[in-house]
Amino acid sequence: MSKTLFTPGPTNVPQFVRDVLGRDLIHHRMADYHQLLKDINEDLKVVFGTKNDVLVVTSSGTGAMESTVANFFSQGDSVLVINTGWFGKRFIEICNIYGLNVHELCYEWGKTYNFHEVEEVLEQYPEIKGIFVTYHETSTGVLNDLKSLGQLTRDRDCLLIADCISGMIVHEFHLDKWGVDCAVASSQKGFLLPPGLSFVALSDKAKLAMERSNLPKYYWDYKKYFKSFNEKYEQPFTPAISIVVALRESLRYLLDKGLATVVEEKRMLRKYTEEKLQALGFKLFIEDDSIRGNVLIPVIVPEEIDGRQLTAMIDERHDFTVAGGMGEYAGKMLRVGILSDVTTKEIDLLASYIEESLLEL
């Protein structure tokens, strides 16, 4: 029996994409694949809002995060990580492994960063070469402001590197206009695809920093990807071919629909889901509506309920999969994902299953 995924990723893959995934393979060193990758690149430039080519890498989102550290910095470089949740912490762990000098601004889960504190850190430590930030923090549902950070770093020798893995597609984003230097995203979120691909968009400033980096890299070496694409419209290593083929179809669908339309649809669905969950006795985790993202609705479960039992019951009885909380919120939070082709009809059905399970628990 098929499952309906109310998770922040991976999500259900629409039927028209699954049809493409089942096609015979093409070879990644032949002319038809070259044209495919060329077409995809043009569409990705629109999605990311950049004039520069966008790299397509076969990896998870964490691999793409690691690649940004390996390609722009050298041993001992100072960086700032804005930590607003689980995946901000992941950037810190990666930077530490590569021997960077990490400054951290850590914020309470459910809150966004303080702009003035970022300014103060940059003034105090002018040697900082990069700021890492999560656009949409999947562990909390918080959407962080990238535009203000871009204005802060645009004229400094400091890169703004954004994890847009869950934030892309369902929120407005403009790499060039906002002054973001590097953004990474992944296939299993707003792109309507299975896991397996990541996308990396770079500014001209980031490309210059790439030339100075002396950290070790082989598979993650962006220079290899640019060289291969510029010379042959290929990737240097075997890609996830079936997902690349399906990517062209999903991008056409999203761009034909209009990215602004997608964002507004998800915003309205988020509002609808928030109301449904509040009516069932759940408390919204993020108090400030202006920083709520459109990827998921995080809610605190009633005190007498174990969130793990609740999600397990719904999954086992109805094949509706809801994500639970992470870290200290495990068992205390639901994260109801609304990516893919979820509609109010599915939300109504989920709400009825939750209500039924709450009464029994």
Outline where the chain has alpha helix (H).
15-21, 31-48, 61-72, 86-97, 115-124, 147-153, 175-178, 204-212, 222-232, 241-257, 259-279, 307-318, 344-360
Residue 2 confidence (pLDDT): 85
Question: Could you tell me which CATH class the domain 15-255 is placed in?
Answer: alpha beta
Nearest one of 180, 99, 179, 110 to 143, comparing CA atoms:
110
Q: Strands 159-163 and 142-143, how do they pair? A: unpaired
Indicate the fold that domain 4-9+258-360 takes in CATH.
Answer: Aspartate Aminotransferase, domain 1 (3.90.1150)
CB 17 within 8 A of CB 246: yes
Where do the structural domains in the chain lie, given as residue ranges? 4-9+258-360, 15-255
The domains spanning 4-9+258-360 and 15-255 adopt the same CATH topology: no
Q: Which two tokens stand for residue 32?
A: 């038809």
Q: What is residue 1's predicted lDDT score, i.e. its pLDDT?
A: 60
With tokens 């108090």, the residue in question is: 287
Cα gap 190→120, rounded to integer Å: 34
Nearest to 79 by CA among 103, 59, 45, 113: 103
What digits encode the pLDDT tens for the residues 208-232?
999 999 999 999 999 999 999 999 9
Which pLDDT value is given to residue 87?
A: 92
The contacts of residue 108 (CB under 8 Å, 6+ apart) are none
Q: Which whole-number Å values give the CA distances from 230 to 34, 144, 184, 226, in the listed order?
A: 11, 34, 20, 6
Q: Tell me, what's the pLDDT at 51?
A: 98
Q: How far apart are CA 97 and CA 109, in angstroms?
A: 24
**Residue 227 in contact with residue 283, Cβ under 8 Å?**
no
| pTM for the whole structure | 0.97
H helices, E strands: number in the chain: 13, 14
- DSSP for 168-192 reads TTTS---HHHHT-SEEEEETTSTT-
CA distance 111 to 232: 45
What are the pLDDT digits (tens) for 139-180? Answer: 999 999 999 999 999 999 999 999 999 999 999 999 999 999
Residues in the chain, pLDDT under 50: none
For residue 43, give both structure tokens.
């569409």
- Total count of residues recorded for the chain: 361
Q: How far is CA 110 from CA 140, 144, 225, 288, 290, in A?
A: 6, 11, 37, 9, 12
